[in-house]
Amino acid sequence: MTMAKRDTYTPESLLAVAVEVFIERGYDGTSMEHLSRAAGISKSSIYHHVRSKEELLRLAISRALDGLFAILREPGACRGRAIDRLEHVTRRTADVLMAELPYVTLLLRVRGNTDTERWAMERRREFDHQVRQLLERAAADGDLRDDVDLGLATRLLFGMINSIVEWYRPHGRGATDREQVADAVVRMAFSGLRTT
């Protein structure tokens, strides 16, 4: 039993609490009761902000997806050689992942049976597909090595970027700078670690 506090939540601050609980317990394992306890307000106060647990998930996932899809409309993603656009998208995807860490973490973990989860997975595949098309254009330009299958390259590139959620923490001692991490991803993926 937790003392209910006065509901001073905005939709954004309530969402931030909900996302932490979803990540910790899994979306399926989270009840409105868990959300109420974590937020310190009653369930009916939560229903004052959102209609359902699934709406909270949709809002959280939208925030991640909006951040990611906005990258594809940036000038650096639309102009110039495909290889440079691909590098830009790689750098910015890593950057958005770190800037919107809990939201992107949730997006990456969603596997499920609700409409919202299916929609999230579908949109994530669409993003991957658009990046894959950039790899195809860069390969057609002769700017991409031809001894790595493009499907594999796309998977490994996202594998490297997405693995950042496993260890990156924005605050605290020894926190690594976002720019430094994004630079490292781009250097390793496009130029490789070897100097010799």
Nearer to a second copy, 4 or 186 (CB): 186
CB of 80 to a second copy, least distance (A): 13
DSSP state of 165: G
Least CB distance from residue 178 to a second copy, whole Å? 12
Please give the Cα distance from 23 to 38 (Å, whole number): 13
**Looking up tokens 């993603």, which residue turns up?**
77
Q: Which residues have C-beta within 8 Å of that of residue 20, sequence separation ≥ 6?
A: 38, 102
Structure tokens at 116: 């919202």
Q: How far is CA 145 from the centre of its chain?
A: 28
Whose Cβ is closer to a second copy: residue 75's or residue 192's? 192
CB 15 to a second copy: min, Å: 25
51 or 159: whose CB is closer to a second copy? 159
Kindly state the smallest distance separating residue 169's Cβ from a second copy, in Å.
12
Token look-up 């009761």 returns 33
- Answer whether 96's CB lies under 8 Å from 104's CB: yes
Cβ 194 to a second copy, closest distance in Å? 5
Rounded least distance, CB 159 to a second copy, Å: 3
Helix (H, G, I), strand (E, B) or coil at 196: coil
Nearer residue to a second copy within complex by CB, 10 or 196: 196
Q: Taking a C-beta distance cutoff of 8 angstroms, is the pair 152, 189 a contact?
A: no
Q: Which is nearer to a second copy, 78 or 156 (CB)?
A: 156
Closest CA to 94 of 183, 154, 167, 194: 183
Distance CA 25, CA 19 (A): 10
User: Closest CB to a second copy among 8 and 196?
Assistant: 196
Instruction: Kindly list the residues in this chain that would bind a second copy in the complex (CB under 8 A).
Output: 83, 142-149, 152-153, 155-160, 162-164, 166-167, 176, 180-181, 183-185, 187-196
Q: Which residue matches tokens 């931030």?
A: 16
